[in-house]
Structure 1
Amino acid sequence: MPSKVGLLRCPEYDAEKLHKILEHALQNNPRWLAGIQQGSKVFLKLNLLMKKKPEEAVTTHPAVVEAVTRLLQERGAIVIIGDSPGGPYLPGRLKSIYRVCGLEDVALRTGAILNYDVSEVLVPFPGGRVTRSFHLIKPVTEADYVISLSKLKTHMMTKYTGAVKNLFGTIPGLRKADYHLKMPKTKDFCDMLIDLALCVKPVLHIMDGIIAMEGKGPSGGKPRKVGALLMSDDPFALDVVALNLVGIVPETVPTVARAKARDLVYHLSQVEIYGTDVAEWQVKGFVAPKISGNVKFPIPDFITNALRPKPVFLQDPCIGCADCVTNCPPQALVIKNGYPVVDLEKCIRCFCCQELCPRKAIDIKRNPLGRLLER
Structure 2
Amino acid sequence: MDDKVYFAAAGSYDPAAVEAAVERLFCQLPAAAAIGPGKKVLLKPNLLAKHGPDKAVTTHPEVLRAVIRAVKRRGADDLLVADSPGGPYTPALVKSIYKASGLAAVCQEEQVPLYTACESAAAPAAGGAAAKEFTLLRPVLEADVLIDLPKLKTHMMTGLSAATKNLFGCIPGLQKAEWHMRLPEKERFGEMLVDLLETVKPAFAVLDAVVAHEGDGPSGGTPRPVGFVAAAGDLLQMDLALCAMVGLQPAQVPYLSAAMWRGLCAERFDPAKAAGEAELFAPIDGFKLPSSWGSVDFADNAPRPIRWAVPAVQRAIAPRPVIDRAGCIGCGQCATICPQKTVRLEEGRARILPKRCIRCFCCHEICPVGAIGTKRFFIFQKL
State the TM bucket, normalised to the shorter chain. Answer: over 0.9
The equivalent residue for 2:32 is: 33
Given the superposition, is the C-alpha separation of residues 229 and 301 from structure 1 closer, same or farther in structure 2, using an over 3 Å criterion?
closer
- Asked if 1:262 corresponds to 2:262, the answer is yes
Alignment coverage as a number of residue pairs = 371
Q: Quote the residue 1:291 is aligned against.
A: 293
Q: Does 1:13 align with 2:13?
A: yes
TM-aligned CA deviation for residue 302 of structure 1: 7.2
Match of residue 224 from structure 1: 224
Q: Residues 271-324 of structure 1, C-alpha deviation per residue, up to 9 Å, x if partnerless?
A: 611123358633100000242666622328875553232211112221111110
Given that 1:244 and 1:278 are in contact with CA atoms closer than 8 Å, whether structure 2 keeps it comes out as no
What is the aligned partner in structure 1 of residue 282 from structure 2?
281
AA at the equivalent of 1:233: G
* TM-superposition CA deviations, 1:321-343 (whole Å, max 9, x none): 11100110010011112211112
**How many Å apart are 1:369 and its aligned residue?**
4.8
Report the counterpart of residue 215 of structure 1 in structure 2: 215
SS of 2:330's partner is coil
Q: Percent identity?
A: 39
SS at match of 1:255: helix
2:304 match: none
Contact persistence 1:307–1:370 (CA under 8 A):
no
2:157 corresponds in structure 1 to 157
What TM-score results when the alignment is normalised by the length of structure 1?
0.93
- 2:313 is the counterpart of 1:312: no
Contact 1:48 1:83 in 2 (8 A): yes
Q: Please name the residue that 1:336 is paired with.
A: 346
Counterpart CA distance in 2 for 1:20 and 1:310 is 42
- In structure 2, distance between residues paired with 1:284 and 1:11: 16
Deviation at 1:251, TM superposition (A): 2.6
Q: What SS class does the counterpart of residue 122 from structure 1 fall into?
A: strand
- In the alignment, the residues of structure 2 paired with residue 318 and residue 271 of structure 1 have an alpha-carbon distance, to the nearest angstrom, of 48
State the secondary structure of the residue aligned to 2:128.
Answer: coil
2:367 matches 1:363: no
Q: Displacement, 1:33? A: 2.0
Change (3 A) 1:300 1:73: closer
Summarize the Cα distance change of 1:36–1:184 in structure 2 as closer, same or farther, 3 Å threshold.
Answer: same
1:138-188 superposed Cα distances (whole Å, 9 cap, x missing partner) = 111111111000000011111110101000000000111221111100000
Structure 1 runs of 4+ aligned residues shifted over 6 Å read: none
Structure-2 change in CA distance of 1:37 and 1:126 (3 Å) = closer
Q: Name the SS of the counterpart of 1:190 in structure 2.
A: helix
Distance 2:6 2:136 in 1: 29
Provide the residue aligned with 1:187 in structure 2.
187
Provide TM-score, normalisation by structure 2. 0.91
Report the AA paired with residue 359 of structure 2. R
Equivalent in the alignment of 2:22: 22
- 2:115 aligns to what? 115
Q: Bigger CA drift: 122-131 or 274-283?
A: 274-283
Structure 1 CA distance for aligned equivalents of residues 20 and 186 of structure 2: 39
1:298 alignment partner, SS class: helix
CA separation in 2, counterparts of 1:217 and 1:41? 32
Alpha carbons 1:308, 1:370 under 8 Å: kept: no
> Is the 1:145–1:203 contact (alpha carbons within 8 Å) kept by the matching residues of 2?
yes
Mean CA deviation greater in 268-277 or 204-213: 268-277
Contact 2:7 2:274 in 1 (8 A): yes
C-alpha displacement at 1:32, in angstroms? 1.1
Partners of 2:380 and 2:309 in 1: how far apart? 12
In the alignment, the residues of structure 1 paired with residue 280 and residue 118 of structure 2 have an alpha-carbon distance, to the nearest angstrom, of: 43
Larger CA deviation: 53-62 vs 8-17: 8-17
Aligned to 1:131: 131
Q: Measure the CA separation in 2 of the matches of 1:281 and 1:301.
A: 35
Q: Is the 8 A contact 1:187 1:254 kept in 2?
A: yes
* Most deviating of 104-113 and 160-169: 104-113
Corresponding residue number in structure 2 for 1:93: 93
Q: How does 1:164-203 map to 2 (within 5 A)?
A: 164-203=164-203
> Shift in Å at residue 210 of structure 1?
0.6
Aligned counterpart, 1:272 = 273
In 2, Cα distance between the equivalents of 1:263 and 1:270? 19
- Give the distance between the partners of 1:93 and 1:21, measured in 2 at CA: 32
SS in 2 for 1:52: coil
* Shift of residue 7, structure 1, vs aligned partner: 1.7
Contact 2:21 2:229 in 1 (8 A): no
Letter in 2 for 1:359: V
CA contact (8 A) 2:211 2:223 kept: yes
Q: CA deviation at 1:34?
A: 1.6
Counterpart of 2:37 in structure 1: which amino acid?
Q
Aligned-pair RMSD on alpha carbons? 2.1
Query: Helix, strand or coil for the counterpart of 2:270?
Result: helix
Of residues 355, 360, 379, the one that matches 1:350 is 360
